[in-house]
Amino acid sequence: MFTGIVTATGTIADIDLRDDQGTYRINAGGLSLDGVKTGDSIAVNGVCLTVTAMSDDGFSADVSRETLGCTTLGECAAGDRINLERALALGDSLGGHLVTGHVDGVGEVKATNREGDSVRLDILAPAVLARYIATKGSICVDGVSLTVNSVDDSLVGLMIIPHTQDQTIIAGYEAGTLVNIEVDMIARYLERIVQYTGRYQ
């Protein structure tokens, strides 16, 4: 479980692809790896990955064919900057919202417009996810917890403050950039509950 509060950016040091799967070696940048061991979870651009090996400057993680196919990790290359967050520990502050690291789909940046010190970001989400996205609700974009400013069908408007621009890879977004999207888990569970209401009464 994560919070969507990115604590550091790193880079993809190397990708070893084989049989539609891969091992990603990550340079952790400013992310503290104190206490991290194999088997722990780290979110990479919002994708929950399991640490398989540690190194002096980072860690390695295996990425399945399923993950390569339904996230942007399959489009990444060595040298790409990435958002990183360690898994939430019991007692940690929940500064963003509850994030699982299970990406629901890939969206596309349609426009970026500066408004004062902030940046207005318009992202086209997959149509199937639109019903889970609400104005003033939460959404996770490449592992970053953000507040939804507007929703027009599948077009989601977000305002990126200077701190978020400085601490994440979002400042590098441009029209056409593909991003990982995870919707609010509460919305998904509410829909499931409504579907089953009355069935077993």
Domain-embedded: residue 98: no
Asked if 31 and 67 sit in the same domain, the reply is: yes
State the Cα–Cα distance between residues 178 and 62, nearest whole angstrom. Answer: 21
Asked if 111 and 185 sit in the same domain, the reply is: yes
- Given pLDDT bands bounded at 50, 70 and 90, which one contains residue 192? confident
CATH code of 77's domain = 2.40.30.20
Note whether 10 and 27 are within 8 A (CB). yes
Note whether 26 and 82 are within 8 A (CB). yes
Q: Which two tokens stand for residue 62?
A: 């295996």
Asked if 187 and 112 sit in the same domain, the reply is: yes
**Distant-in-sequence, close-in-space partners of 20: CB < 8 Å, separation ≥ 6:** 65, 68
Q: Which two tokens stand for residue 97?
A: 């919202």
State the Cα–Cα distance between residues 5 and 106, nearest whole angstrom. Answer: 20
Asked if 66 and 137 sit in the same domain, the reply is: no
The per-residue pLDDT for range 137-147, each reduced to its tens digit, is: 999 999 999 99
Asked if 131 and 180 sit in the same domain, the reply is: yes
Domain boundary among 22, 57, 86: 86
For the chain, what is the total number of helices (H) and then of strands (E)?
3, 12
Domain boundary among 51, 86, 121: 86
Number of domains, the chain = 2
Domain-embedded: residue 121: yes
What local confidence, expressed as pLDDT, does residue 161 receive?
A: 97
Note whether 142 and 45 are within 8 A (CB). yes
Asked if 123 and 70 sit in the same domain, the reply is: no
Asked if 115 and 155 sit in the same domain, the reply is: yes
| SS3 at position 150 | strand
The per-residue pLDDT for range 4-48, each reduced to its tens digit, is: 999 999 999 999 998 878 999 999 999 999 999 999 999 999 999
Domain that holds residue 82: 8-86
Note whether 2 and 88 are within 8 A (CB). yes
Asked if 79 and 12 sit in the same domain, the reply is: yes
CA angle 48/93/135 to nearest 5° reads: 70
Domain-embedded: residue 56: yes
Domain-embedded: residue 160: yes
Quote the pTM value.
Answer: 0.93
